[in-house]
């Protein structure tokens, strides 16, 4: 048993913030229950600390404020580790992933190079997610190259971004590489994988800045989960590629602003 952290939002409970619109990590099942890699993982981590997991589903851009306001104990929502976020929270990393751009089937705008082929196109992103940051930076690159910028369509959820492409409002939408695989498998030929990029980005569970007790408890619980084989089983269950296995070449450790290696 891993000793749970003190000062939890609710006694005996690990309350976590999540934005359940990002399969295969977190999404809502038809019956409204939460499902996904992160949801299953936090159940195992909570159990090893003798706690009950309690989700608080919210918009992605509300997660860090909820953590800072102590409404939740951790953020468990496939949050990309970036230097900017690491100024506000500390991370316990657990997955390495990349970004993908999905277009309508057949890739009618012939997008393959990022950012060059995005010049003059409309790209849908999730508000507050890393894709918004990447596309904003790519627009600066396009401007420096003397090329027309893309139009960035910022929407509340990953599903909204997908619908924008399906309805013709956007030429493509940004998602994670595992998310792209899940979307392609579940939408029966409606989308095409146009490009992948930023393939060495880490995601992690976020804790309040300086909260070493919670970070240590989560790290220890995660170590137990990995050693038990549970982590590997979840990667297989959600068809997340071996290249995303953070623990294949490293060991669990919390990361702060000074140690963050996210792009």
Instruction: Please give the helix or strand (H or E) that residue 34 lies within, else none.
Output: strand 34-35
Q: Tell me the pLDDT tens digit for each residue of 15-50.
A: 999 999 889 999 999 999 999 999 999 999 999 999
**CATH no. for 98-199:** 3.40.190.10
Angle between helical axes of 37-48 and 230-237 (0-180°, round to 10) = 160
Q: State the Cα–Cα distance between residues 100 and 87, nearest whole angstrom.
A: 26
pLDDT of residue 250: 57
CB contact at 8 A, 185 and 154: no
Q: What is the pTM of this model?
A: 0.79
pLDDT of residue 261: 35
24-27-33-34 Cα dihedral, nearest 10 degrees: 70
The residues, ordered by sequence, that sit 6+ positions from 153 with a Cβ below 8 Å of its Cβ are 122, 123, 124, 125, 161, 164, 169, 170
Domain limits, CATH 3.40.190.10, in the chain: 13-96+202-246, 98-199
Residues in the chain, pLDDT under 50: 251-263
Instruction: Please give the helix or strand (H or E) that residue 64 lies within, else none.
Output: helix 63-68
pLDDT of residue 129: 85
53 strand-pairing partners: 14
Q: State the Cα–Cα distance between residues 122 and 175, nearest whole angstrom.
A: 15
pLDDT of residue 15: 98
Task: Given CATH 3.90.1640.30, say whether it is the number of domain 13-96+202-246.
Answer: no
DSSP labels for 106-118? T-TT---STTGGG
């Amino acid at each position: 048993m891993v000793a749970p952290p003190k000062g939890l939002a609710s006694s005996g409970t690990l309350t976590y913030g999540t934005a359940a619109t990002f399969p295969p990590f977190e999404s809502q099942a038809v019956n409204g229950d939460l499902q996904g890699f992160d949801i299953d993982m936090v159940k195992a981590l909570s159990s090893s600390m003798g706690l009950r997991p309690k989700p608080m589903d919210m918009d992605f851009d509300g997660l860090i404020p909820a953590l800072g306001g102590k409404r939740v104990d951790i953020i468990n929502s496939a949050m990309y580790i970036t230097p900017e976020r690491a100024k506000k929270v500390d991370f316990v990393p657990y997955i390495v992933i990349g970004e993908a751009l999905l277009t309508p089937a057949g890739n009618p705008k012939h997008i393959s190079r990022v950012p060059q082929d995005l010049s003059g196109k409309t790209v849908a992103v999730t508000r507050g997610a890393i894709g918004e940051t990447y596309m904003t930076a790519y627009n600066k690159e396009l401007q420096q190259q003397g090329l027309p910028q893309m139009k960035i369509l910022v929407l509340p959820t990953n599903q909204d971004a997908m619908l924008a492409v399906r309805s013709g409002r956007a030429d493509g939408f940004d998602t994670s590489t595992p998310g792209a695989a899940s979307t392609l498998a579940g939408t029966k030929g409606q989308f095409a994988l146009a490009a992948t990029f930023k393939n060495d980005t880490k995601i992690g569970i976020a804790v309040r800045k300086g909260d070493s007790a919670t970070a240590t408890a989560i790290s220890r619980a995660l170590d137990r989960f990995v050693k038990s084989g549970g982590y590997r089983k979840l990667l297989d269950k959600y068809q997340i590629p071996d290249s995303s296995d953070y623990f294949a070449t490293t060991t669990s450790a919390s990361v702060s602003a000074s140690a963050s290696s996210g792009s």
